[in-house]
Structure 1
Amino acid sequence: MRVTTSLSYEQSIVNLQKRQQELSNSQVQLTSGKRVNKASDDPTAAARAERALTSIARTEANQRAIDASRNVMNIAESAMADSIDLMQSARETLVAIGNGSYTDSERSALANKLAEIRKQLLNVANRPDGGGGYVFGGQGSSSPPFVDTPTGVEFQGQSGEIMASSGEALTLTVDGRKAWLQAKSGNGVFTAAPDSGNSGSAWVTSGAVTNPSQLPYPSSAATPPSYSVVFTVSGSTTTYDVLDDSGTALVSGQPYKAGKAIDIPGLGMSVTISGGPGNGDKFTVGQSEPDLSIFDSLDKAISTLKTAGINNGQVMQAVNTGVTELDSILGNMQGSRSAVGETLNRMDGVESRNSALKLAAKTEKSNAEDLDMTEAISEFTNRQSGYQAALQSYASIQKLSLFQYIG
């Protein structure tokens, strides 16, 4: 084969350009610190890095959701702690009002204290979340969810919770209706209340369950059954009948003794009535319902205790009912607070898993595209030496020309 001078020159230039390109590529890798700078460098590794980058972005979005949820849950936990303290103060005030020696003005002053506690509770219930919403706004509310109306406090939000956009169940609000307005009435199983037309000075406690297996509650009937204790006073003798809702007597003509439990026969319930009932006075027992509002409960107690001239029985009924309802509301609020606390605890695990996923994604991205600096420096040195050798070879070839020799 005939080798011409031009062919030698051309081959030398091709080799020189190739080595120059390799040296340039090594230099780009060293300056960027990455083995893959564009998809054509290694399509498979570039795809792996892209998937890892997507995973990193997803974990960062999840972390923002975790941070937002934690912020709201911390505010909610603090608000519930404040509300529980206020309810405890209201309970202590109600117990103090039960002092039979208080005058109307003294009871009214304590009722005013309850009214101030109610105002504070309303402010807590409408606590903002710092982001334009409200902690107890349910599924969203642009205005305070609890509104004080002439008929009482109403919840004008939407029941439920707003969930964060995340793979985990993270809440951004608390169901205000459930936390503040849906405690169980009575003792949680049944209620015991005086008839509005009673004329005596007797009052009834919340009652007790004596045999759970006999309880008629909870009832699936559209109208749950109810029972009543009706008093008959004749001279110095006071008796009572226990009736069902059809008026049928379960027991009748039983002698009344103040403070002694009265059984609802065969139904696993008893109530305790104290004081002096009037003739025809009636006390009704019914199913407990999850519709007890802290604001309605305080409103009833405040209204009764501010009324001048009420007898001791009416005072004690207001106090007993108020304390029983506050105990139920406190239990409901503590349950909601426990749920918030559990959410905060769960976030620690969610955050730990999210961090582990992010680390794994970063590791995968690094494995796919990052450069081994030791190996790269060695490779760069080799290619630099090769390029220098190519330059020297080209310079030598230029001298091997017939015309140059003749000249």
Structure 2
Amino acid sequence: MFRITTANAYAASVDNLQSRQYELNMAQQRLTSQKRVLAPSDDPAAAARAERSRAMIQRADANQRAVDASKNSMTLTEAALGDATELIQQARELVVAAGNASYSAAQRKDVANQLTEIRKQLLSVANRGDGAGGFVFAGQGATQPPFADQPGGVAYMGTGGEVQVASDENLPLTFDGSKTWLSAPSGNGVFVTSSNSSSAWIDTGRVTDPSKIPADANMDYTIQFNSSGGTTTYDVVRKDGSLAVSGAPYQDGKLIEFDGMATTISGAPGNGDTFKITPSQPNLSAFDALDKVIAGLKDPSKSSAEVTQTVQSGLRDLDGVAGQLQGTRSLAGEILNRIDGVTSRVTDLKNYAESTRSDAEDLDMVQAISDFQNQQTNYSAALQTYASLQKMSLFDYIKG
């Protein structure tokens, strides 16, 4: 038989009371914080899962901030390119109007002045800010507006390339301004036509047989005109001096074909007049295209044929610039579409991480309330037991 002293009974009762009080307190803390795991020692495995999930959530938030920055930038870029395309279209309509044979030199000068104002607006669009102290077309960075209007034309002062967001996704923050504004394909995209005649003009030309087109290094043709006895003929001379066409009779507006290419010359070319065919290069500037048209329309000494050549070459160049701007705008639109997909993936990843964290450490409120009520019952029973035990003292028995 074991002998249980009064002191031992009191100590056991107090320990039990304190244990019940601690369990009740912990249950109350869990209810208040709505967390099942209050400290790593409560459930080390669950705490580790929750910590990994929180890290994943933080990474998803960082990625989302980067994606949002790219979205804002691409939205500004797409809007700027839309404005630029509209300005180029306005310029094209003015150039078409300037080709009206009834226009006087003064009227053509008025058109040139309007084109000058459009050029100023276009430069403003090219230097548009991103709202954060930078520029939409700054490439890899520029502390000043990336395009500067200099005596020789507009120059790009930024650094070529693009800035990418700091995230798991390959998304741009800027576009290469030089590539967007100063690098449209010249001519028709394959070759460029030009004239030195004051009485005839040449069109943009076209490709008739791609398989016969020579390499750029060899694409250098000269169409030479000879007039004798009232008859006008032409030769098409290759770069090496050989003849692609020899002594062909000239007819106004008739197609001239050679080596997979074709072009049309109109007017009355004089003896010794030449027209050049050179390879297209990605070096056409939106501003140079306007500058050439403006200079041509402001020159009152130009003949009717030269004005026509100015108009045709100007329309060709403006179409090339418009195509470049529209292509870049389409790219910005594609990036915005991709950003929507990236945003959806980042949101899904964050939701998954949040769900994993919740499963690891969050409280089941129904079960927690039930546990809290049980702990209250246990604590109340412990209090009653302790109160009863206090009445079992030998001195209390003697006094009774």
TM-score bucket of the superposed structures, by smaller chain? over 0.9
Matched, 1:358 2:356: no
Taking the aligned partners of 1:53 and 1:250, their CA distance within structure 2 comes to 73
- For 1:361-404, what per-residue CA distance to the aligned partner results, in whole angstroms no more than 9, with x for missing partners? 11111111111111111111111111111111122222222333
Taking the aligned partners of 1:158 and 1:98, their CA distance within structure 2 comes to 39
Q: Give the match for residue 201 of structure 1.
A: 199
Aligned residue runs from structure 1 range 73-112, under 5 A: 73-112=74-113
Aligned residue runs from structure 1 range 362-401, under 5 A: 362-401=354-393
Aligned residue-pair number: 398
Aligned residue runs from structure 1 range 119-268, under 5 A: 119-195=120-196, 198=197, 200-217=198-215, 219=216, 223-264=217-258, 267-268=259-260
Q: Give the match for residue 286 of structure 2.
A: 294
Q: Give the match for residue 339 of structure 2.
A: 347
Judge conservation of contact 2:218–2:239 (CA < 8 Å) in 1: no
Deviation at residue 225 of structure 1 after TM alignment = 3.1
- For 1:242-291, what per-residue CA distance to the aligned partner results, in whole angstroms no more than 9, with x for missing partners? 10112222222111111111112xx2001111111121111111111111
Deviation at residue 341 of structure 1 after TM alignment = 0.7
Matched, 1:275 2:267: yes
Judge conservation of contact 2:73–2:136 (CA < 8 Å) in 1: yes
Corresponding letter in the other structure for 1:44 = A
Taking the aligned partners of 2:363 and 2:61, their CA distance within structure 1 comes to 25
Taking the aligned partners of 1:50 and 1:297, their CA distance within structure 2 comes to 59
- For 1:20-42, what per-residue CA distance to the aligned partner results, in whole angstroms no more than 9, with x for missing partners? 11011011111111111222222
Corresponding letter in the other structure for 1:75 = L
Aligned residue runs from structure 1 range 40-51, under 5 A: 40-51=41-52
Q: Give the match for residue 328 of structure 1.
A: 320
Deviation at residue 224 of structure 1 after TM alignment = 4.2
Say which of 324, 338, 341 aligns to 2:330. 338
- For 1:181-214, what per-residue CA distance to the aligned partner results, in whole angstroms no more than 9, with x for missing partners? 111111011111114xx4x411111111111111
Deviation at residue 124 of structure 1 after TM alignment = 0.7
Give the 3-state SS of the residue equivalent to 1:174 in structure 2: coil
Give the 3-state SS of the residue equivalent to 2:158 in structure 1: coil
Corresponding letter in the other structure for 2:152 = T
- For 1:213-246, what per-residue CA distance to the aligned partner results, in whole angstroms no more than 9, with x for missing partners? 11114x3xxx443111001112421111110112
Corresponding letter in the other structure for 2:225 = F
Q: Give the match for residue 301 of structure 2.
A: 309
Taking the aligned partners of 1:109 and 1:385, their CA distance within structure 2 comes to 96
- For 1:54-80, what per-residue CA distance to the aligned partner results, in whole angstroms no more than 9, with x for missing partners? 111111122212221111111111111
Q: Give the match for residue 37 of structure 2.
A: 36
Taking the aligned partners of 2:108 and 2:157, their CA distance within structure 1 comes to 33
**4+ residue segments displaced more than 4 Å:** none
Deviation at residue 113 of structure 1 after TM alignment = 1.0
Judge conservation of contact 2:30–2:363 (CA < 8 Å) in 1: yes
Corresponding letter in the other structure for 2:134 = G
Taking the aligned partners of 2:244 and 2:392, their CA distance within structure 1 comes to 130
Taking the aligned partners of 2:35 and 2:349, their CA distance within structure 1 comes to 22
Give the 3-state SS of the residue equivalent to 2:257 in structure 1: strand
Deviation at residue 52 of structure 1 after TM alignment = 1.2
Corresponding letter in the other structure for 1:364 = T
Give the 3-state SS of the residue equivalent to 1:130 in structure 2: coil
Deviation at residue 147 of structure 1 after TM alignment = 0.6
Corresponding letter in the other structure for 1:361 = A
Deviation at residue 164 of structure 1 after TM alignment = 1.1
Unpaired stretches in structure 1, ≥5 consecutive residues:
none
- For 1:148-193, what per-residue CA distance to the aligned partner results, in whole angstroms no more than 9, with x for missing partners? 0000001111122111112112211122111111111110111111
Give the 3-state SS of the residue equivalent to 1:192 in structure 2: strand
Corresponding letter in the other structure for 1:393 = T
Corresponding letter in the other structure for 2:392 = L
Taking the aligned partners of 2:345 and 2:243, their CA distance within structure 1 comes to 64
Taking the aligned partners of 1:55 and 1:314, their CA distance within structure 2 comes to 67
Judge conservation of contact 2:39–2:47 (CA < 8 Å) in 1: yes
Matched, 1:15 2:36: no
Question: TM-score with structure 1 length normalisation?
Answer: 0.95
Corresponding letter in the other structure for 1:43 = P
Give the 3-state SS of the residue equivalent to 1:3 in structure 2: coil
